[in-house]
Amino acid sequence: MKTFKQVNKTTIRLTNPENDKVETWNGYDIGSLPPTFGFNFNKETEKDGIGAWFNYKGLTYIQK
């Protein structure tokens, strides 16, 4: 099971005890989400988007 630690108001760290992998997630307000949020791939610009996130305490967290 992953360990959850809130570093500050907008940063969360998840640690997997099996392999000691640390993931950092940044929180965004709904109006300040990056433009690549919500799509997986844009064919026109051949750019990957952000397709994985979670909501916690009013913020949307995206992996750094």
Domain ranges within the chain, ordered by starting residue: 3-63
pTM higher than the cut 0.95: no
Looking at residue 42, its pLDDT comes to 65
pLDDT in tens, the chain (64 residues): 788 899 999 999 999 889 989 999 999 999 999 888 877 776 777 777 788 899 999 999 999 8
If we measure between CA atoms, which residue out of 20, 28, 35 comes closest to residue 53? 28
**Cα(13)–Cα(15) distance, rounded to whole angstroms?**
6
Looking at residue 49, its pLDDT comes to 78
